[in-house]
Structure 1
């Protein structure tokens, strides 16, 4: 049996998942899990990048202990965050999180130099205050010495791959989230970098998913007791998740559901027109130079923060049950409002929003949870409406995949609020997509269509019909 290892690292946890192919079907086995999160260092919210890599190695060692040696490994993480390395390949400053407030006001500073409509025309990427471009401008304005010393720009998975292999590359799907890649040339945009005064030579060659980076560093082979090929998946976790869609047709909208919700579809070309800019849709890179035309929505982060505010007294399943018991509560919030990005207290923020918008204020855990789930469903509905207007067609169904697709109550709400059939699954979409890219690189699958058919036949898929259907 040949194994392929997906290291899938999210904002709150990471997992090592082994994949194999048996009689044409994909099999998964989680072998290692670890916690992740941001902490404050010198007034900045940062990732513990050293601990992340320690856990990358610990999970590989676990595979060795189990006697299940992967043929290859791929790493995916969240988007936009990065490290800068000096001439000795040491990290300059901190690995700062996109949830840090250092980017406040930076978007407006960029627009003084490059008009908003031109920025969108160049990159096709939606405007979010935490995009890499605004993080870099913040460093340039507030800590210019770091950029002056910088010799290398690597996004988080790029850096982890560098530690594994010694190779410095920027992977395409994650690079496109920086708002620094030209959507048509598919490479770093020299005009944007020149206009902002950011050195071009710190950026690496952009490589596509399925690229084989070769084997691991010799010292790691000795330390871990194993050697294997390091293959680029779509290193942006959403890029990997989109590979796993089981609705490989033109009548489906995709929704990757997790801490963030990414809703949209797959396109062969970028849409960088005033209408899509007005609705703040993005054109992020996908496998085989596809574009993920989608909208970023705050997602299950909101309920995760509610749970934290409640001192994790309730499981997420219990929160769902409490919400279902208050299904007649109708107040909704705009989950995409920046106030929900990292508030001091999510519950207070939800209540204040309802007060300010003259809606009934949620009282009790059930009403708060119902408000969150109902708000997500209505936010999805608005995005679907925008997509249908842009493409001048009605879509029949929404394929929800990722961890959030396990929430049957939310799936029911989405079906009823949007009036669309909801296809839920696969759950482990990101890890599956990561493994699929490795299998495509190894020619186990001949193309993406064959990979998606295998995924559809390998994992449980559940259908939800709207009530009126």
Structure 2
């Protein structure tokens, strides 16, 4: 019998719904609908359109119903940290702020004037980024935000959409860990930090872990879509948690690079590593499936190129990669995680200004800009991987690149060259696969994560990249370290 699972995968620039099926032939994925997820700028703030996202999901369910397949369950994963405020009547109080909104600039420092930085890290094991939910909430509180003041419940984005589909309010563990509000040891919301922003556990939904049932489709959604009372499952609500669940590793001796708008590089461990060293390096301990912890670091990722492409009229990736491959190597290098690249009005101009200020040749063609981005990312990956290898309780035998970036052969080869590590690329649809697999585990048609990974390894084409040209990359790394210093 063929089991079909409906996966909703929402990223910071676009979203899609996918039908994933498990049968004797293995795993099959079929895209149902794809849609943009633009930032909305109004009144000096950046918002997400939660209603549009919900409507796109309902549209996807309608299309799936027309195919007359039996859907076993539904699961939603999204980017982290952002949340929706709901009133006592259960309705949305305001469109949610986007994490790139500038209102949290300087927010961590404001919060740490009341609660010591090392105390926050000791409790949560989460890296400090100005847009973490903890700092968003504190900023709203300090600004006397009317939606927060009236909020009966606060739900993270995947939980808010699950509520709109099912009428049940939950707080899923993996997405909650991105907030810097979950205690790393108890793996529950931390009362001391909630109190510091004027909240309590009552402001959040029932706490659940990946694989638990949230509820079933409301009668309203059933009527709109023509579907029955299909269960809505808590998958790893954080898209990186879903993606890492789909790493096709055959043992535990690996690092991963989830490559998309953000790049997230890490290792999978059994218990959090919360030390002075991980705090100094600003590493994070996010929740994973089956009780695992993802010790990782956020790296800027393809955001740099996506913003440049928007300025260039959406040129195709293959064309840009071909141009970059032919460009002069190591001409200009940037720190992809420098604050100037967070949300500039003109990304290409920001890259050129950075190179000028650091005494380097300005990348004056499109090809040179793209080459600069790819080489700089690969060098940043080396820096982060070297730290991970020191911290990990296991050896790192390979780096698995998953997500959309796994299709970028040039960047994958650069990453292998830079890190001196075998890079295994694929699957590109890791997030959707992980989402489907957690649903399959909940439906008892798939076994453990280890069994899932073997199945993915056997059924998805993977490409290996071996390190080359190490002397030139070692010299470039020395140059990179001098520039970012």
Give TM-score scaled by structure 2 length.
Answer: 0.94
Unaligned runs of 5+ in 1: none
1:244-288 Cα shifts (integer Å, max 9, x gaps):
101242331111000000001101111111101111110000001
1:12-42 per-position Cα deviation (integer Å, ceiling 9, x unaligned): 2111111111216111111211111111132
Equivalent in 299, 308, 325 of residue 301 of structure 2: 299
- Is structure 2 residue 317 aligned with structure 1 residue 316? yes
- Find the residue that maps to 1:26 and give its secondary structure: strand
Q: Distance in 2 between matches of 1:20 and 1:217?
A: 24
Measured against aligned partners, the alpha-carbon deviations of 1:317-338 in whole angstroms (never above 9, x if no partner) come to 1111111011424321111112
Shift of 1:198: 2.9
Q: Pairwise CA RMSD of aligned residues?
A: 1.4
- Contact 1:401 / 1:429 at 8 angstroms: preserved in 2? yes
Following superposition, the deviation at residue 115 of structure 1 comes to: 0.9
Aligned residue for 1:84, secondary structure, equals strand
What pairs up with 1:235-274 in 2 under 5 angstroms?
235-274=237-276
Q: CA deviation at 1:392?
A: 7.4
* Partner SS state of residue 400, structure 2: strand
Residues 7 and 56 of structure 1 are in contact (CA less than 8 Å); yes or no, is this contact kept in structure 2? Answer: yes
* Alpha-carbon displacement from aligned partner over 1:97-118 (angstroms, at most 9, x marks no partner): 0011010111001111111111
Q: Is the 8 A contact 2:242 2:431 kept in 1?
A: yes
Deviation by residue 1:107-137 (Cα, 9 ceiling, x = unmatched): 0011111111111010000011111111111
8 Å CA contact 1:330–1:374 kept in 2: the answer is no
Contact 2:174 2:237 in 1 (8 A): yes
| Inter-partner Cα distance in structure 2 for 1:249 and 1:337 | 35
The within-5 A match list for 1:52-71 is 52-71=53-72
Structure 2 Cα separation of the partners of residues 462 and 141 of structure 1: 50
Kept in 2, the 8 Å contact 1:110–1:196? The answer is no
Name the CA distance, whole Å, in 1 between partners of 2:469 and 2:310.
36
445 and 40 in structure 1: CA distance in 2 versus 1, 3 angstrom threshold: same
- Does structure 1 residue 234 correspond to structure 2 residue 242? no
Deviation at 1:232, TM superposition (A): 1.1
SS at match of 1:113: coil
- Cα distance in 2, alignment partners of residues 166 and 331 from structure 1: 52
Secondary structure of the residue aligned to 2:40 is strand
The 5-angstrom pairing of residues 24-35 of structure 1 reads: 25-35=26-36
Q: Runs ≥4 in structure 1, deviation > 6 angstroms?
A: none
Unaligned runs of 5+ in 2: 471-485
CA drift of 1:204 comes to 2.1
| Alpha-carbon displacement from aligned partner over 1:192-232 (angstroms, at most 9, x marks no partner) | 12233334421222200101123211121112100211111
2:339 aligned with 1:338: yes
Q: By how many angstroms is 1:394 displaced? A: 5.4
Would the aligned equivalents of 1:24 and 1:454 in 2 still touch at CA under 8 Å? no
SS of match in other structure, 1:178: coil
Aligned 1:49-448 pairs, distance under 5 A: 49-227=50-228, 228-312=230-314, 314-391=315-392, 395-448=396-449
Question: Is the 2:191–2:200 Cα contact (8 Å) retained in structure 1?
Answer: no
Q: Which residue of 1 aligns with 2:6?
A: 5
Mapped to 2, the partners of 1:306 and 1:278 lie a distance apart of: 32
Q: What corresponds to 1:16 in structure 2?
A: 17
